[in-house]
């Protein structure tokens, strides 16, 4: 019975990694669509959200099956309950990648008011945070989870830089306002992705230690 249970937990790890990969791909496509002003890629990122949602349901179903059939206690119960929390944050990251691509569609035919510099860096940083947080869970690595939490400062600093640059552009020319607001919104979505990755890392720590720092991201 325990061997079957261990196999199910291994399957849970594999599905989490698969969901994480889907989301990382969605982020990569979303930022490429933004940089290249490519509407086809933007639509691909939007459509990918449905596959991410289905993967969330699949993992949720496995978690509930484990709880009902195995009746886990102590650390095992923490592990499964943490996964249920983690996939909620992961699903929201997928939503934000789609949100970014929605804005990309509206910007596709507009001349850039400035070259994109820090927003692609935000995409790279948040994708790394997501990947590291999931691997921290699978590898039971508290140090890696803590590094994700600390790395959020990098994303926050990039967001502040984007916001400051765009405010300056609006002050120079009010006609820059509409596109600047859209770009700030995109940066804000990446900042939220970073926050969700921090949430995941905190649930990793909870699964291993039983301690959690309360944090809510909408």
Distance (Å, whole) CA 69 – CA 154: 43
The model's pLDDT over 112-149, given as tens digits with 9 standing for 90+, comes to 999 999 999 999 999 999 999 999 999 999 999 999 99
In eight-state DSSP terms, residue 135 is H
For residue 108, the surrounding DSSP H or E stretch is none
pLDDT of residue 218 exceeding 50, the answer is: no
**181 confidence band (pLDDT: 50, 70, 90):** very high
Q: Is the confidence at residue 203, as pLDDT, over 70?
A: yes
20-24 long-range contacts, CB within 8 A, separation 24+:
20/90, 20/130, 20/131, 20/134, 22/48, 22/51, 22/52, 22/55, 22/94, 23/52, 23/90, 23/93, 23/94, 23/97, 23/130, 24/127, 24/130, 24/131
∠ CA 205-195-51, nearest 5°, is: 90
Question: Model confidence over 166-180: pLDDT tens digits?
Answer: 999 999 999 999 999
Domains of the chain, each with CATH number or no CATH: 2-209 (1.20.58.220)
The answer to whether the predicted template modeling score (pTM) of the entire model surpasses 0.85 is yes
Tell me how far apart the alpha carbons of residues 147 and 152 are, in angstroms, rounded to a whole number: 9
Instruction: Categorize the per-residue pLDDT at 3 as very low, low, confident or very high, splitting at 50, 70 and 90.
Output: confident
Cβ proximity of 191 and 159 under 8 Å: yes
């Amino acid at each position: 019975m325990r061997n079957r249970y261990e196999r199910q937990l291994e399957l849970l790890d594999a599905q989490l990694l698969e969901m994480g990969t889907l989301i990382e791909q969605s982020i990569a496509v979303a930022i490429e669509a933004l940089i290249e002003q490519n509407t086809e890629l933007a639509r691909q990122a939007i459509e990918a959200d449905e596959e991410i949602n289905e993967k969330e349901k699949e993992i949720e179903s496995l978690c509930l099956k484990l709880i009902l059939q195995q009746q886990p206690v102590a650390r095992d119960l923490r592990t499964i309950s943490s996964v249920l929390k983690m996939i909620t944050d992961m699903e929201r990251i997928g939503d934000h990648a789609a949100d970014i691509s929605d804005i990309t569609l509206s910007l596709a035919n507009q001349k850039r008011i400035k070259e994109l510099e820090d927003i692609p860096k935000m995409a790279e940083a948040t994708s790394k945070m997501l990947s590291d947080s999931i691997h921290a869970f699978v590898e039971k690595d508290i140090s890696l989870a803590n590094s994700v939490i600390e790395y959020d400062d990098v994303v926050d600093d990039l967001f502040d830089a984007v916001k400051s640059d765009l405010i300056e552009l609006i002050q120079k020319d009010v006609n820059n306002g509409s596109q600047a607001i859209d770009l700030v919104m995109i940066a804000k979505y990446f900042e939220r992705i970073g926050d969700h990755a921090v949430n995941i890392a905190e649930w990793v720590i909870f699964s291993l230690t039983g301690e959690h720092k309360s944090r809510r991201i909408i």
